[in-house]
A = this chain, B = another copy of it.
Amino acid sequence: MAKGKTPAVSTSLKEFLRTGHRHFLRSLSVDNVIFGFHENQLKVLLLHTTFGNQWGLPGGFVGIDEPLDKAAARVLRDRTGLNDLYLQQFHTFGQTERRDNKVLSKVLKDLNLNPGKDHWTLQRFVTVGYFALVEYAKVNPQPDDLSTTCTWHDLDNLPTLLMDHGDIINKALEELRIRLKYQPIGYNLLPREFPMKDLQSIYETVLGRKLDRANFNRKMVGYDILDKKKKLFTGGSHKAPYLYSFNKKKYFKALENGLGSDF
C-alpha cells in the first residue's frame, strides 16, 4: 500500500509506480497491524485509499537492500511519527488471491501509466505481517501517498477491508492474545506511568473476558516487574489509585526464571 521512503527512491508517486520494481523486492510486502488503546477500547490504525474507496492496513514494500524488519519499522515510523515502538513479526500471508486489482489498476489508469496485467504492482504479493503496540495519545496518524486519511478504528467495529486485511488483523489479535499470556507486553499500549486498572482493561479486552480485580492485581504484582509510584490524582470522586511503571531490569530477570509457564 505504502510508498517507501528508502534512500535513492524518487518521491513522486508516478515515478515510484513506474520504477519501483527496480528499488524494491518483487512480490513481497509488509503490513502493519498497529494497536492502540483508548477509552477502554482496542483500536487499529487504518488508511482510507484514495482511489479504491476502501480501508486497508498501513503497509509498504521492502527495499532491495533493506532488511525486512527495517521495512516494517519504516512503515510504522512513517504512519505514526514515532520511533522505537514495540513491533513484532507474527505471520506471513501467501495465498494466491493476494493481489490488488481494483485499487492499483485504478491508480495506474488515473496516472496514465500502463495498466496492463503485467505491471509489477498488479502481481500477486506475499506479505509479512507485523503487529505493533503503541501509546495511543502519542501517535500522529499520517496517511501515505495512496490514501487520504489515517485514523483509528475500534477493533470490534471495523469497516470493510481491502483483500485479506481482515484476516490479517484477526491473526494479529490471536497472536497478541497468545503472547500476552506469557509475556506482559500490554504496558506498551500505555503511558510510562499507569494505574493497574488500565492494564487490567487491556488484558480483559484482548482476552475477551472479565478478570477479577483483586486477583489480577495480585498476579501482576507477583511477577515483580512493576515499580509502584506515588499516588495519582484522578479527579474521580473515590480513592486514588497507585501508579505503576514497567521495570525492564526486573522484567528480564523474571523472564529467565520463566514467566507464567506450565511445566
Chain A residues with CB under 8 Å of chain B are: 25-28, 62, 64-69, 71, 89, 91-96, 124, 126, 128, 178, 181-182, 203, 207, 211, 219, 260-263
* Stoichiometry (number of copies): 2
List residues of chain B with CB within 8 A of the CB of A263.
Answer: 181, 203, 207, 211, 219
B126/A25 in contact, CB under 8 A: yes
A92/B95 in contact, CB under 8 A: no
A64/B124 in contact, CB under 8 A: yes
Prevailing SS type, chain A contact patch: mixed
With CB as the reference atom, state the residue of chain B lying closest to A27: B25
Assembled-state Cα–Cα distance A181/B18 (Å) = 49
| Cβ 8 A contact of A67, one of B62, B65, B96 | B96
| Cβ 8 A contact of A26, one of B27, B89, B93, B260 | B27
List residues of chain B with CB within 8 A of the CB of A181.
Answer: 182, 261-263
List residues of chain B with CB within 8 A of the CB of A219.
Answer: 263
A199 to chain B, nearest CB (A): 13
B28/A126 in contact, CB under 8 A: yes
List residues of chain B with CB within 8 A of the CB of A65.
Answer: 96, 124
Assembled-state Cα–Cα distance A93/B69 (Å) = 9
Could you write out 15 A-B pairs with CB less than 8 Å apart? A25-B26, A25-B28, A25-B124, A26-B26, A62-B94, A65-B96, A67-B94, A67-B96, A68-B95, A69-B94, A71-B94, A92-B128, A181-B263, A182-B262, A260-B262
Assembled-state Cα–Cα distance A203/B182 (Å) = 18
- From A64, A67, A211, residue with most partner B Cβ within 10 Å: A67
A219 to chain B, nearest CB (A): 8
